[in-house]
Amino acid sequence: MSKKSIYFIGTFLSFLFITSFAKAEVDQEIAYILNTFSFLICGFLVMWMAAGFLFLESGLVTTKSVSTIAAKNIGKFAIVSVVFYLFGYNLGYGVPEGGFIGSFSIWTDSTSIETGYSDASDWFFQALFVCATCSIVSGAVAERIKIWPFFLFSAILGGIIYPIQMGWEWGGGWLDVLGFADFAGSTLVHACGGSAALAGVILLGPRLGRFSEAGKPVNMAPFAPSSIPLVALGTFILWMGWFGFNGGSQLALGSFDDATAMSKIFMNTHLAACGGCIAGAVITRLIGGKTDVVMMLNGALAGLVSITAEPLMPSPILAISIGAIGGVIMYYGTSLLNLLKLDDVVGAIPVHMFAGIFGTLIVPLSNPDATFGIQLLGVFSVCIFVFIFSYIVIAIIKKMIGIRISEEAERLGTDKAEIGVIAYSIRD
């Protein structure tokens, strides 16, 4: 047999081997490793979002509150993670089928090869979702809330409020049985955080001098953002972290279908952010005559929030459209808050709550298994529950120990009044 014939036969047999391997199912242990790896890597990306929230908030507050933002974000991150371990996880994922609440019990490892992934990797991934939810509140109530009452509320939000409503869907509770669809948390994470933020903003009231006698917001000094580059950096970090947020919510990477799905989720997530950013640029140019960079950045975030409820099923064009509409909703939502004299420092409520509600309600457009009525019921139930529960908790904290710094401390700045460390040597 000639060398040419041997080469041809070898090449053909190799092709058959590779083809058959590609079509074969991955064995159980390899699938376990790949799924666990996906949770860990995507969890790492979601953890990086904590830095994104930190930079975004630090850039949007005044220079006299930047150190406080840093302290709030790192402190909240640690506290919420601990309470989620102690009882939050089982409160959300220990829900009886079709039920309403799990158990107040500590997380325990139930890993086995049959589960398809390490239980600890799942806890890690889910814990970071809780931290993201509490970060939404942080920016909205910035520059006038006391730091320790904020930590206390974050512990209750992350350990009790969030897990209960999350369990209604992701824990197999009553919304899941009804067919409610929220893939990665447009409602369960973002509208939840936005609803809690709304309660906090109402009870705190606006910053001193934030609105003029005519009721118009004072946008420049003394409320000018400390650093727009920091806001942009925070947005880019959040944008990057969102690939873990949405992609990891596929909850598996152990098959051809899972890898294909995660890739499409990444693509749609990115395109939705682009659509929201472009919408923010266009609408501010058309209405205000200038291209507002903050609206562009918040538009990108609103696009990301909007696609989070269903990042897999839409076509790329639909993903862009969903993101763009989310950006428009964010813009008019911001105007609505100003009209109502609700002082949301970073625009968390329009970005996360308003865009999150929209993203959840639009799911039936691409997912035939979802219905508008059930989606509306889910959104209404979660937002009302979180808002009322949060309002009661914050009101109790306000009554017992107070939540707002004094007028003197507010004029001095939270960095000096609450932290004792200034972020910048040059003050506003």
Q: Could you tell me which residue, 18 or 97, shows the higher pLDDT?
A: 97
Note whether residue 14 is domain-resident.
no
Note whether residue 13 is domain-resident.
no
Task: State the Cα–Cα distance between residues 174 and 58, nearest whole angstrom.
Answer: 39
Note whether residue 6 is domain-resident.
no
- Inter-residue contact 307 to 258 (CB < 8 Å): no
Task: State the Cα–Cα distance between residues 329 and 158, nearest whole angstrom.
Answer: 27
Note whether residue 287 is domain-resident.
yes
Note whether residue 392 is domain-resident.
yes
Q: Among residues of the chain, what percentage have pLDDT more than 70?
A: 93
- Inter-residue contact 185 to 379 (CB < 8 Å): no
Task: State the Cα–Cα distance between residues 195 and 304, nearest whole angstrom.
Answer: 18
Note whether residue 19 is domain-resident.
no
Among 16-25, 101-110, 337-346, 388-397, the minimum mean pLDDT is found in 16-25
Confidence of residue 53 (pLDDT cuts 50, 70, 90): very high
Residue 5 confidence (pLDDT) = 54
pLDDT in tens, 350-375: 999 999 999 999 999 999 999 999 99
Task: State the Cα–Cα distance between residues 390 and 284, nearest whole angstrom.
Answer: 33
Residue 1 confidence (pLDDT) = 55
Note whether residue 296 is domain-resident.
yes
pLDDT in tens, 171-219: 999 999 999 999 999 999 999 999 999 999 999 999 998 888 777 887 6
Token reading at 324: 């763009």
Estimate to the nearest angstrom the gap between the alpha carbon of 232 and the chain centroid: 17
Q: What domain range is 359 assigned to? A: 28-419
Q: What is the mean pLDDT of residues 217-227?
A: 80
Note whether residue 255 is domain-resident.
yes
Task: Indicate if the pLDDT at residue 34 is higher than 70.
Answer: yes
Q: What is the mean pLDDT of residues 62-78?
A: 96
pLDDT in tens, 299-348: 999 999 999 999 999 999 999 999 999 999 999 999 999 999 999 999 99
Confidence of residue 26 (pLDDT cuts 50, 70, 90): confident
Number of domains composing the chain: 1
Residue 213 confidence (pLDDT) = 76
Residue 49: give its domain's CATH number.
Answer: 1.10.3430.10
